Chains A and B, each alone.
Chain A
């Protein structure tokens, strides 16, 4: 049985930088509990350890310099100054 309570939900929400309204806590916890209980079906499968999990191959490209248009990228930031992103003071 999956025990996923409100406290656990709040902790995950904090890690996710999400705020959950109090009135929605129960329904979120319920939805997540349902999904976790569904995926517990995987407990019954034990794939052989010899299976190749990753199909990673190295992809190389030439080490060439490309022009980048940082001014246009910066222009999309909510707050920017002198070519930098501006965020609230942290110190």
Chain B
């Protein structure tokens, strides 16, 4: 069996009875066992004996995958890449976990991630960094580092990541795969451990656009257990994938992205080639300036840290996870538990969050950021009255060298420049591969749409993907 088959291809083999679901599961389980020591994609691989499904009819029967470790799987450790939750077991399945299982999917384990999803390189995991399968000296991106690297290395056909400011799309771009940041509220977050609740979302990572749309379809549909869930019915996102883009489609290039400081020449060239390709498929291309997007990073800094400081206040050794310093009294217990349990990056973000929320600062920081957020949202809305879809590179740079950018937190935060604005506006964006650097590192670009435009994004991205061969390339050695 070819390790890099798409879900669609595996399903067809199963349907033709050329392979049994149990054999598919055993095959990928073995691959993960073989390559995990090298890449560190998974924090846990479940015991092979329990990897089975009772579901006989469903879109994912026998299709194995992985979930990022901040998504609850009943009875399994749910560490969020942190020491503070190293012994915490989820008491229920997240809604997305439930829906995947009900579709017949078999979850092989939990993937590595930056602690509490705070990071862009996977290096802030308490359990060691994940390596990029295209070149082990490089980061796969983050925070969904393990999920993206596992899919790119052909160790599973799909995985779930989560994104707050770029954590699905950026690793997708760095690993040469497809990743979706959905409309805010499109997929349920019941059972997702919160980082910054006003932008946290779950997103699928796959090697093809079709597979991504398939997983997204299974995750879709309203969930009464998540009060931010949009009232949309279950949607089949694969329906419009006919290889054509809608006639008269207008695509806008975000010009500010290309003029931004520090954009890598090879990223720019690959993106420009993708633009020409879209033009040849019949799209009308327009250049649009969205000058307020540049404030995205600052707005994100303030809001995400403020929300993180509030959300992570619950980890104090009382209700779950690790407890330290009990014998020295209550306050000392809180402090000792958090001091030992959290890594430096999490502490940095909590500190900044409590600083911007502190008395006397709130108006200058939080309230101001909320107003600029509205400005960015409005700027996108205006753009979508002019074009159907926006495009830009997913990242300004090639993948980071491990141990390099993580030493300079500010530089790493600013690298989210192209992904953060969509999270702030709550609009969907789909990253797809658009080429490789001369050194063989993947490059991605993204299709951005108004709220609930996922069907259109998938349709256009699929037409683009089918006219290129970037998604067919696989990393050597796997």
Contact = CB atoms under 8 A, between A and B. Distances in A.
Contact of A45 (B295, B313, B321, B365): B295
Contacts of B321: 76, 78
B207 interface: no
B100 interface: no
B351 A28 contact: yes
A51 B371 contact: yes
B331 A47 contact: no
B370 interface: yes
A45 B292 CA distance: 9
A79 B326 contact: yes
Given A42-B299, A76-B91, A90-B330, A34 B342 contact: no
The B contact surface, by secondary structure, is helix
A75 B328 CA distance: 23
B335 interface: yes
Interface in B315-373: 316-323, 326-331, 333-336, 338-339, 342, 344, 347-348, 350-352, 354-355, 358, 365, 368-373
A65 interface: no
A20 B346 CA distance: 12
B335 A17 contact: yes
B301 A38 contact: yes
B374 interface: yes
A2 B471 CA distance: 46
- The residue among B91, B328, B348, B358 with the most chain A CB atoms within 10 A of its own CB is B91
Interface in B378-411: 378, 409-410
Contact of B374 (A32, A52, A61): A52
A19 B227 CA distance: 35
Given A18-B342, A77-B320, A78-B321, A51 B331 contact: no
B309 interface: yes
Given A38-B298, A47-B375, A76-B320, A87 B348 contact: no
Given A18-B335, A32-B352, A45-B295, A39 B372 contact: no
Contacts of A59: 227-228
Contacts of B298: 38-39, 41-42
A1 interface: no
- The residue among A17, A24, A53 with the most chain B CB atoms within 10 A of its own CB is A17
A45 B323 CA distance: 44
A9 B309 CA distance: 15
Interface residues of B, number: 59
B351 to A, nearest CB: 5
Contacts of A3: none
A8 B91 CA distance: 40
A14 B365 CA distance: 20
B358 A15 contact: yes
B175 to A, nearest CB: 28
Interface string A1-38: 00010001100110111111000100010011011101
A15 B410 contact: no
Contacts of A82: none
A16 B309 contact: yes
Contacts of A35: 301, 352, 409-410, 413
Contacts of A19: 335-336, 338-339
Nearest to A66: B225
A77 B87 CA distance: 10
Contact of B88 (A42, A51, A76): A76
A36 B295 CA distance: 14
A53 B354 CA distance: 22
B89 interface: yes
Contacts of B15: none
Given A17-B335, A61-B224, A76-B89, A53 B373 contact: yes
Given A17-B338, A39-B365, A76-B88, A12 B351 contact: yes
Given A18-B347, A47-B375, A53-B373, A31 B309 contact: no
A73 B321 CA distance: 12
Pick the 8 closest A-B CB pairs, nearest first: A78-B323, A51-B374, A39-B298, A47-B371, A19-B339, A17-B334, A47-B375, A59-B227
7 contacts: A4-B355, A17-B335, A28-B348, A38-B297, A38-B301, A39-B298, A77-B318
Given A76-B321, A78-B318, 18 more contacts: A16-B354, A18-B339, A19-B335, A28-B351, A31-B348, A32-B352, A35-B413, A38-B301, A39-B302, A42-B302, A47-B371, A51-B371, A53-B370, A79-B326, A87-B318, A88-B326, A88-B328, A90-B329
